[in-house]
Structure 1
Amino acid sequence: MQTMRRFLVLTPVALVVTTVAYLIYIGAGDAGSRIWSAVGIALLVALVGAAAVLAAVVIAVGLLRPLGVSNAWAALGLAFGLVAAILGILYLGIEGDDWDMLFFEVAIGVQVPTWLVFAVGILVGDLRNRAARNRADLTA
């Protein structure tokens, strides 16, 4: 359960970072009155991207639970592998249609900031826990 809590705490941060990154990506050429529609589109795309990554993590945690594995890094790695396999299958199914390829590229591009936020969040949490243990050892 603690593994899922770690990812659920990081999800709002991932959503904000992904929204800002996608807004910069699509909004670099846009300015003026279209900025609000760009923000809405960026928020929607980031929400879908972050939800897809979170769903993959939930599936990975569910697959690892019967094996007795409760490591956040293992869940993140398995989720990344699942998403990479699904995107690889989708890529093989693309027959040259420009819209399909654009969808594929956007799906990958939107998920990258979410994966990075999850990885950095887990790393920071692990470093913080290690520092707390070291401080407890020094005071004991």
Structure 2
Amino acid sequence: IIDREGRVMQSNNVGAFGPLPLVVGLGANAGAAGIIDLLRAQPSLAGRVEAAVRVSERRWNLRLMGGADILLPEGQEAAAITRLVELHARDRLLDRPLAAVDMRLPDRLVVRMNPAPSATTPPTNPTQVRSTRG
């Protein structure tokens, strides 16, 4: 548990404090207050975020509950989060089977979907494989 300045306040019995945002990565404690404030201002997104991950001590990724990563641009987190919330409201973006949404470039959005399981792929359970040789 850290305070707004990133100082560690307590490391034992974290569960006693209820649900708290998870921030991870080198330097995450120092920048946590800013990203948490941005997420609290967007509750429709905040409820989907499992963790805020600090990358190279300079920018953030948001890890969603389903495992997708939202790659935020350095120094433009607020604008990117606002855009993401708008895209979700309009196109239900976050309800799709996403692997990642890269928002690091201001003039484009790159969405990587999770591959859909193939309907033609046979089961790979070895107990179901039988020899046709006699």
TM-score (norm 2): 0.27
* Structure (1 or 2) with the larger CA radius of gyration: 2
TM-score (norm 1): 0.27
* Greater helix proportion: 1
* Greater strand proportion: 2
1 or 2 for the larger relative contact order (CA 8 Å, sep ≥6)?
Answer: 1
